[in-house]
Amino acid sequence: MLIAIDIGGTKIAAAWVENGKVLERRQQPMAPDPIGFMAAIAQLVLGWPAPQQVAVAATGFINDGKVHSVNQNIIAFWDGFPLAERLAERFACPLILMNDGQAAAWGEYQVRQSASENSPDNLLFITLSTGVGGGLVLDRKLRIGPHGLAGHVGHATVSRQPTDGDLGCGCGRHSCLEKIASGTALGRQASAMFGRAMNSAELFELALTDTKAEAIINNAAMAVAEAISNVHMTIDLSEIVIGGSVGLADGMLQRIQLALARAPNLMQVPVSAAILGPDAGLVGIMQWANAKDA
């Protein structure tokens, strides 16, 4: 039996897996502190049999069993938190740990391999959610990197600026893609624009009738397209996959495709939505664990 866990900036999802099949899926809000986090994990697996293995996809980067936030404003205690040690204490079984964007990239690559003979050899997954993350499959191999950083496109810089002019990112840099196109960034820009607290979901709803709201989202989509062009010209990609709550919001994919279509021909690359939807990371880490056991 395998327990797969996907830890994001705002939620934790878990799946009980037997013989490659998900028997049950549960979800809890992400906690703001270590005690609450471990309590949420305990609640997620309550009543499930003891696993033979636990596979975890987590936001941030993982090095030597410890997890770090690139953007410390998303999960403050993700600052070298001993994730492997804490989970080993809880489950007493082998663990696999991976960044959630990397896991999602692997899941999306695998599902495309199964669906088509012309599946991509080089794929970039971008998750537009609480933050902006990503993962890379290069020449049919998942790229993790010596520090676990591969695919963190959200902290590459772009020339476009957020509408509120707030450029400073929690990673320590300025003008990161995450500062303009994440759910957090969209909510921040909307709140500044309309003078009241708003989140990204409310912004997308308002954009149906308000041109200023639409402009915030379009600006973010153009920033994503710029980041895609930059990565494509660096490593030559076959396909881009967009996921996350913002990436999968109505109309966001089409906005990104339209913005990318304005780039020169050399920068054109197919862009599609995540086939696995919001569970790309959960499925990806499950598949990665199963492949390691094969």
Q: What is the CATH number of the domain that holds 24?
A: 3.30.420.40
**Are 133 and 263 members of one domain?**
yes
**Are 158 and 224 members of one domain?**
yes
Q: Which residues contact 82 (CB under 8 A, 6 or more apart)?
A: 65, 66
**Are 165 and 203 members of one domain?**
yes
**Are 152 and 212 members of one domain?**
yes
Q: What are the structure tokens assigned to 99, written together? A: 């960044």
Mean pLDDT of 219-240: 97
| Tally of domains in the chain | 2
Flag whether 207 is in a domain.
yes
**Are 51 and 65 members of one domain?**
yes
Percent of the chain, pLDDT > 90?
92
Q: What are the structure tokens assigned to 243, written together? A: 């996921």
**Are 193 and 160 members of one domain?**
yes
DSSP 6: E
pLDDT of residue 100: 96
Segment 177-218, tens digit of pLDDT: 999 999 999 999 999 999 999 999 999 999 999 999 999 999
Q: Do residues 221 and 128 lie in contact, with contact meaning Cβ atoms separated by under 8 Å?
A: no
**Are 17 and 143 members of one domain?**
no
Mean pLDDT of 68-73: 92
Flag whether 108 is in a domain.
no
**Residue among 126, 250, 133 nearest 200 (CA):** 250
Flag whether 107 is in a domain.
no
**Are 122 and 221 members of one domain?**
yes
DSSP 49: P
What is the spatial distance between Cα 85 and Cα 89, in angstroms, rounded to a whole number? 6
H or E, element range at 185: helix 183-194
What is the spatial distance between Cα 28 and Cα 33, in angstroms, rounded to a whole number? 14
φ, ψ at 223 (rounded to 5°): -65, -40
Mean pLDDT of 71-90: 94
What is the spatial distance between Cα 211 and Cα 115, in angstroms, rounded to a whole number? 39
Mean pLDDT of 157-174: 96
What is the spatial distance between Cα 243 and Cα 282, in angstroms, rounded to a whole number? 13
**Are 126 and 86 members of one domain?**
no
Can you give the residue range of the structural domain that contains 153?
116-275
φ, ψ at 101 (rounded to 5°): -70, -40
| CA diameter of the chain | 55
pLDDT of residue 293: 65
Flag whether 110 is in a domain.
no
**Are 184 and 78 members of one domain?**
no
Flag whether 227 is in a domain.
yes
Flag whether 200 is in a domain.
yes
**Are 39 and 22 members of one domain?**
yes
pLDDT of residue 67: 96
Q: Which residues contact 107 (CB under 8 A, 6 or more apart)?
A: 276, 280, 281, 282, 283, 284, 285, 286, 287
pLDDT of residue 292: 72
- Please give the radius of gyration of the chain, using alpha carbons only, rounded to the nearest integer: 19
**Are 40 and 122 members of one domain?**
no
Flag whether 109 is in a domain.
no
Flag whether 129 is in a domain.
yes
H or E, element range at 14: strand 11-18
